[in-house]
Amino acid sequence: MPPRTRQKQKRQSTTKKKKDKEPETPLSDLPLVPPSDHARIRRLYTARQTLKVMLTARGYGTDTVLPPCTLDTYLQNFEHYATTERLVHIPRVQSVVGVASETLNDEELVVFFAISAAKLGVKTLRPMLAYMHTQHLIRALILVDNDVTPEVRSDILACRQKRMPHRQWIEVFRLRELAFPKVQHSLQPKSIKLLTLAERNAVLDRYGNTSKKTIHLQCILLRDPIVRYCGALPHDVLRIERKSQTGGTAIAYRYVTHNPRNEKIKAMFNTVL
């Protein structure tokens, strides 16, 4: 073996040992915004308000857990809000819609506020996963200020791909992504609905052949902002109503998927990016 490869193997082994020895961040020590940083606190308040609107549209009850408040009261009592809302359990008040009703039993959603200047690392994510496992929680939402590390992305993808009952569906939103509700944009269609299982099966039977895995629907990616806002899962169907100058109202359907090229579906996809 050449000496360079030996040195590289030694470096890799030492780095692995250091990573294993690094202590994990407990949930009680999640990073917080300094009280003097008013600009980031305002962004956090805006994201908090948008988060309430988004989760209410998904069918969760947020008023009891995230009480309404003004920006002035939030700035004055920020330390109280930051400590009490560091980890929040939000119950579901409406029935589960879409693929989640058959794949996920998400009667409760946990929201982690991990706001810091650094990226979200594995040391902070692993206690969250352990907490979800002990509390038997399946769905979680992590609110961060910056992006996440590649290790965190791979761990979240691995949790999504697990089989039940060990499957966990974790979403990560940045503060700038929750600057305003996506459905309230002027260019966004006003009526976007996530279909139930019965409605989805009726649409798929009408516009495809499920036995041959042939679906003649336009595809929308899972990473699309409106798909993430609605909380849709793969194989869900969205019903979109747009205003038409000739027909009054135009109805379109979109099939949610990871990547049309990797899907085992023989169809002529028109991907919406």
CATH classification at residue 201:
3.90.940.20
The number of domains in the chain is: 2
Residues 232 and 158 in one domain: no
| pLDDT of 177 above 80 | yes
Calpha distance 219→269 (Å, rounded):
6
Taking each helix axis from N to C end, the angle separating 122-135 and 150-161, rounded to the nearest 10 degrees, works out to 20
Residues 148 and 218 in one domain: no
Q: What is the mean pLDDT of residues 128-156?
A: 89
**Angle, alpha carbons 243-245-246 (nearest 5°):** 115
In a domain, 12, yes or no: no
In a domain, 225, yes or no: yes
If you write DSSP's letter for every residue of 70-114 in order, what string do you get? -HHHHHHTHHHHHHHTSEEEEEB-S---TTHHHH---SEEEEEEE
pLDDT of 21-38, one tens digit each? 456 666 656 656 777 778
| pLDDT of 226 above 60 | yes
Residue written as tokens 């996809």? Answer: 269
Of the listed ranges 6-10, 15-19, 250-254, the least confidently predicted one is 15-19
Residues 201 and 106 in one domain: no
In a domain, 20, yes or no: no
pLDDT at 52: 93
Residues 191 and 162 in one domain: no
Residues 123 and 209 in one domain: no
In a domain, 267, yes or no: no
Q: How confident is the model at residue 264 (pLDDT cuts 50, 70, 90)?
A: very low
Calpha distance 46→16 (Å, rounded):
40
- Provide the residue range defining the domain that includes 158: 26-178
Is residue 267 classed as helix, strand or coil in its secondary structure?
Answer: coil
Q: How confident is the model at residue 81 (pLDDT cuts 50, 70, 90)?
A: confident
Q: How far is CA 171 from CA 79, 228, 238, in A?
A: 25, 8, 19
In a domain, 204, yes or no: yes
Residues 114 and 194 in one domain: no
In a domain, 18, yes or no: no
Q: What is the mean pLDDT of the chain?
A: 80
Residues 101 and 205 in one domain: no
Residues 124 and 136 in one domain: yes
Query: Where is the domain boundary, 137, 158, 178?
Result: 178
Which long-range CB contacts under 8 A does 146-150 form with residues at least 24 apart? 146/116, 146/117, 146/118, 146/119, 146/120, 146/174, 147/119, 147/120, 147/174, 148/119, 148/120, 148/121, 148/172, 149/119, 149/120, 149/121, 149/122
Residues 136 and 243 in one domain: no
216 or 69: whose pLDDT is higher? 69
pTM: 0.79
pLDDT at 21: 47
169 or 165: whose pLDDT is higher? 169
| pLDDT of 48 above 90 | yes
166 or 260: whose pLDDT is higher? 166
Secondary structure element (H or E) that encloses residue 172, with its range = strand 169-174
Of the listed ranges 23-37, 229-243, 247-261, the least confidently predicted one is 23-37
Helices (H), the chain: 3-21, 38-58, 71-76, 78-84, 100-103, 122-135, 150-161, 197-206, 225-230
Query: Where is the domain boundary, 152, 178, 204?
Result: 178
pLDDT of 90-132, one tens digit each? 998 888 788 777 777 678 899 998 887 678 888 888 888 889 8
In a domain, 54, yes or no: yes
- Calculate the CA 271 to chain-centre distance: 21
Residues 226 and 152 in one domain: no
Is residue 171 classed as helix, strand or coil in its secondary structure?
Answer: strand
Residues 157 and 247 in one domain: no
| pLDDT of 51 above 90 | yes
Residues 165 and 36 in one domain: yes
Which one, of 233, 232, 47, 36, lies nearest residue 143 by Cα? 47
Q: How confident is the model at residue 55 (pLDDT cuts 50, 70, 90)?
A: very high
- Calculate the CA 266 to chain-centre distance: 28
| pLDDT of 267 above 70 | no
Preceding peptide of 165 cis, ω within 30° = yes
In a domain, 271, yes or no: no
Q: How confident is the model at residue 270 (pLDDT cuts 50, 70, 90)?
A: very low
Query: Where is the domain boundary, 147, 178, 209?
Result: 178
